[in-house]
Amino acid sequence: MHVVLSNRTYRHLFGAQVVALTGTGLATVALGLLAHDLAGPDAGAVLGTALAVKMLAYVGVAPIAAAVLGALPRRAVLVALDLVRAAVAVALPWVDQIWQVHALIFVLQAASAAFTPLFQATIPDVLPGERDYTRALTLSRLAYDLEGLLSPTIAAALLTFVTFNHLFVGTAIGFAASAVLVVSVFLPRPRPITRRRGRTTRGIRIYLATPRLRGLLAVHLAAAAAGSMVLVNTVAHVRDGLGRDAPDVAIALAANGIGSLAAALVLPGLLDRVADRAVVLSACVTLTVALFAGTTAAATSWTGVLMLWALIGAGCSFALTPGARLLRRSADETDRPALFAADFALSHACWLVCYPLAGWVASAAGATAAFIVLGVVTAAATVAAVRLWPTSDPEVVEHVHDDLEPDHHHLCDAVLAGGGWRHAHPFRIDDHHERWPR
Q: Both 378 and 411 in a single domain?
A: no
Q: What is the pLDDT of residue 283?
A: 96
Within-domain flag for 333: yes
- Which residues, in sequence order, are CB contacts of 342 under 8 Å at separation 6+? 62, 63, 203, 204, 206, 207
Reading phi first (left if > 0) and then psi (alpha if -120 to 50, else beta), residue 256 is in alpha
CA distances from 56 to 110, 208, 217, 260, 324 (A): 9, 20, 17, 26, 22
Q: Both 9 and 45 in a single domain?
A: yes
Q: What is the pLDDT of residue 405?
A: 75
CA distances from 325 to 188, 223, 225, 242, 434 (A): 21, 17, 22, 40, 21
Which of helix, strand or coil describes residue 97? coil
Q: Say how many C-beta atoms besides its own lie within 10 A of residue 298's C-beta.
A: 16
φ and ψ at residue 425, rounded to 5 degrees: -165, 170
Comparing CA positions, the residue from 227, 232, 237 lying closest to residue 44 is 232
Burial of residue 437, with CB atoms counted within 10 A of its CB: 0-12 exposed, 13-18 middle, 19 or more buried: exposed
CA distances from 326 to 45, 122, 137, 210, 330 (A): 35, 16, 12, 10, 6
Q: Both 402 and 316 in a single domain?
A: no
Outline where DSSP puts E strands in 109-155.
none
Going 14 to 249 to 357 to 388, the CA torsion angle's sign is positive
CA distances from 125 to 9, 273, 299 (A): 11, 27, 45
Q: Check: CB of residue 329 under 8 Å from CB of residue 315.
A: no
Within-domain flag for 257: yes
Q: What is the CATH number of the domain that holds 253?
A: 1.20.1250.20
Q: What is the pLDDT of residue 51?
A: 63
Comparing CA positions, the residue from 142, 159, 158, 77 lying closest to residue 113 is 77
Q: Are strands 420-426 and 396-401 parallel, antiparallel or unpaired?
A: antiparallel
DSSP 197-249: TTGGGHHHHHHHHSHHHHHHHHHHHHHHHHHHHHHHHHHHIIIIIS---HHHH
Rounded CA-CA distance 301/57 in Å is: 36
Q: Check: CB of residue 185 under 8 Å from CB of residue 297.
A: no
Q: Both 10 and 126 in a single domain?
A: yes
Within-domain flag for 47: yes
- In sequence order, what are the beta bridge partners of 422? 400, 415
Q: Both 402 and 372 in a single domain?
A: no
Helix or strand run (H / E) with residue 377: helix 367-388
Per-residue buried b or exposed e for 182-199, using 16+ beta carbons within 10 Å of the residue's own CB: beebebeebeebeeeeeb
Q: What is the pLDDT of residue 316?
A: 92
Within-domain flag for 435: no
Q: Both 159 and 302 in a single domain?
A: yes
Q: Both 161 and 267 in a single domain?
A: yes
Q: Both 230 and 369 in a single domain?
A: yes
φ and ψ at residue 416, rounded to 5 degrees: -70, 130
Rounded CA-CA distance 169/86 in Å is: 9
Within-domain flag for 199: yes
Within-domain flag for 84: yes
Q: Both 379 and 400 in a single domain?
A: no
Per-residue buried b or exposed e for 385-403, using 16+ beta carbons within 10 Å of the residue's own CB: beebbeeebeeeeebebee
Averaged over successive runs of 10 residues, the pLDDT of the chain (438 residues) comes to: 75 83 74 68 65 71 72 83 88 77 78 79 76 71 62 67 76 89 81 55 86 95 94 82 78 85 82 89 96 83 89 92 85 78 84 86 88 95 95 82 76 76 80 77
Within-domain flag for 289: yes
What domain range includes position 416? Answer: 396-426
Within-domain flag for 436: no
Q: Both 141 and 243 in a single domain?
A: yes
Q: Both 320 and 402 in a single domain?
A: no
Helix or strand run (H / E) with residue 376: helix 367-388
Q: What is the pLDDT of residue 224?
A: 94
Q: Both 131 and 63 in a single domain?
A: yes
Number of domains in the chain: 2
Entry pTM: 0.73
Rounded CA-CA distance 113/91 in Å is: 19
